[in-house]
Structure 1
Amino acid sequence: MNDDESVNVSKEEEEYVLIDLDEVARDIDIPAEAPYILSGLDTLNPVLTINDKIKLVGEYLETIGTCLAFSDKEVVAAENQTPHKTVEPIAKLHKILKFRLALDNVYGEQTETTKL
């Protein structure tokens, strides 16, 4: 390779997104173990399908300020101490993905299947 040629190295950055289901959680019951499919993350409106019955449409919102995600782990204590939890930051979030019911859930044939 001579000096005129350049090598294109693409580095993929990890991006974390918070999935916000608060708005739909009031209207539908989502079982904790329900299977789901999340598609179209690279589009303006990703789709979340839960239990092959509920279709949700998302919209990205930019975070205001710094939004951090944490994990908590239970730490085993010595004999004379009580166990406790530690909290560690795991990611800095750049976007929130807020979901709402898809229109076909409200007005279409799937209306009866939105309640599990």
Structure 2
Amino acid sequence: MKWQQVTEHWNAFVPSILTRWPELDSDTVDAIEGDRTALLKEIVHTYQVPAREAEDQLAEWMEGATPADVIMDPEMDNERILAAADNIPEGEDAYDDDRRFGDDGYEANPIGRTDA
């Protein structure tokens, strides 16, 4: 991904940044608003690492997954579906019939109408 995407969609990336660097202050990260230099300075300051190491960490983080609400691109659909599989609990089949969780198979009455 490119840093411009991060800057344009900063709020979507903040949770991922806080997951990668949990000791960063969330208010400070929010206030950075996509400023790469400011984020690097914050990582260096908080984690007491050399600037080069912070650069390497940030580059590694940028190779990770882009939040789904950042890019809506049909060419990326399969990649997003595969990434979503990481959130399926162990033992659950992604292709299972989920009728037990909803009202599949039942026709819903239109809003405001009841069976007469």
Q: Under TM normalisation by the shorter chain, which class is it?
A: under 0.3
TM-score, normalised to structure 1's length?
0.25
TM-score, normalised to structure 2's length?
0.25
Higher helix proportion: 2
Higher strand proportion: 1
